[in-house]
Amino acid sequence: MQTDTIPSGTSTKYFWFFLAVFGLRYIRVISNIIGNVVYRPSCVAWKPKYDASDVTVMIPTMGLNSELLHQVVKSILLHPIAKLIIVTNGPDFEDNCSSFRDVIADPRISHLDCENKGRRHKTALALPHVHTPLVILQDNKSTWPKSPSFIPLMIAPFEDSQMGAVTPAIEAQHHHHRNIIKAFYNFLGMTYLVRRCHEYKACNAIDGGLSTLPGRFGLFRTSIYASKEFQQAYLNEYCWVPFYGLRGPLDADDDKFHTRWLIEHGWKMKIQALPETTLMTENGELDRFYNQVLRWTRTTWRSNPKELSHAKVWRRHPFTSITLLLWMVRMSLIYEVLLFWLLYKSCQGKSSAGKSQGFAVEAGLLALWIVALKFNKISPHFVRHPKDLVFFAPYILFGWYCSLVKIWAGLTCWNISWEVAKPAATNEHTEGTHVSDNAKDAETSSVD
């Protein structure tokens, strides 16, 4: 900030406090911008080790009749993958499978019925049916791009034998709602994913890390996911919460579990953020967005301390580790109010005439700085959807509100349910499950 004179006495103390808080808040932000500039995706090799026939896709879902699920499946089947396994639960399994096949009939599709509603158990049930070296775990709302380059670009990082997982860029669908409230929530969902991609690219470029391997889509080496050690830990994860003790077994937080496991076992991660590798998903739905944000934030409160407790995480990914640490004290409402207050106090040492004028100028510059950096982070969204600029001011206010949500999530992080209103799945066995005979394995050779 520009000043006429450096204040003395007590005001000098406030000035140095201001610089300390300013640095703590914005060194990471500037580093993220630099990381995005230097980020480079992996290129497809001249003679790649893998192709689309080496990929199996798993989708755990609650049902088969969703129109959105049908869109997702159709987008996947445009690509020459080996197999698609859809794991569901509920009554009338065979009837639902029959209805599904009336809409989409493809020999690459298999259906599994899991008695346990949990995402982790559904995934574990599907793994014995995977016979390819690479496996994709994704949700039931993210549609694949049509580009034939999608799979080649996604598997390109696996030319490195130490590469364990790859994730794409993910954007939320713009619905152009006429209802202004729905449109604003849709905007919030879209910009949430823009910010996440911005941070992921920066961390991956600077130290090869990722704060979280997104649960919407992850491409893994099957040998990692199918190992008995992984499965045992995956289905029996607990977290310790102050005053509540051990909570679990967890069904939520599986994205954080994947990330920790890969780092602790020496595997690399990569984000492939290109137009050809960008998935479209649903985010920012009016009736669900608050609960989603609350669940995501609770997950981070539970998982970040666990991840940061491992020395290997700090050694391999120091910048990403600092990002995880700063997340726990990163609250824009508190930081920004504190910065303006410290700036005001640091101006108290000036003359009465210069005090008012000096603070007004410096506060204006500080406000411009804050707004410019907030805008820069989500500017790719405005390039694609310039009409959404009308939401930028309420977006800043919503960021302050999220600081309060973050505090509440920290105080209630003992709630481990996947959806806030639903209890977490119990740790049942997946015996007694049924397999639809819709498909024959495209690959019969097992992969260890």
pLDDT (tens digit, 9 = 90+) per residue, 217-252? 999 999 999 899 999 999 999 887 777 778 878 888
244-250 contacts: CB < 8 A, separation 24 or more?
244/414, 247/414, 247/416, 248/416, 248/424, 248/427, 249/424, 249/426, 249/427, 250/120, 250/416, 250/424
CA angle at 372 for the pair 367 and 373, rounded to the nearest 5°: 105
Query: Residue ranges of the domains in the chain?
Result: 26-333+415-435
Are 73 and 240 in contact, with CB atoms under 8 Å apart?
A: no
Q: Are strands 83-88 and 55-60 parallel, antiparallel or unpaired?
A: parallel
Contacts of 363 (CB under 8 A, 6+ apart): 340, 343, 344
Closest CA to 221 of 162, 164, 261, 157: 164
Fold of the domain spanning 26-333+415-435: Spore Coat Polysaccharide Biosynthesis Protein SpsA; Chain A (3.90.550)
Distance from C-alpha of 98 to C-alpha of 102, rounded to nearest angstrom? 6
Average pLDDT, the chain: 87
pLDDT at 333: 92
Burial class (CB in 10 A: 0-12, 13-18, 19+), 377: middle
SS3 269: strand
324 neighbors 212 (Cβ within 8 angstroms):
no
- The CA-to-CA distance between both ends of the chain, in Å, stands at 59
Q: Output the DSSP codes for 283-319.
A: ---TTTHHHHHHHHHHHHHHHHHHHHT-HHHHHH-HH
**C-alpha R_g of the chain:** 24
Q: CA-to-CA distance for 396 and 408, rounded, in angstroms?
A: 19
d(CA 406, CA 423): 21
CB neighbour burial string for 58-88, b if at least 16 within 10 angstroms, e if fewer: bbbbeebeeeebeebbebbbebebbbbbbbb
Q: How far is CA 389 from the centre of its chain?
A: 24
For residue 246, give the H/E element and its range: strand 245-247
Q: Which helix (H) or strand (E) holds 327?
A: helix 318-327
| Helices vs strands, H then E, count in the chain | 15, 11
- The stretches in the chain having pLDDT less than 50 are 1-7, 420-448
Q: What is the pLDDT, as a whole number, of residue 123?
A: 94
SS (H, E, C) 10-39: HHHHHHHHHHHHHHHHHHHHHHHHHHHHHC
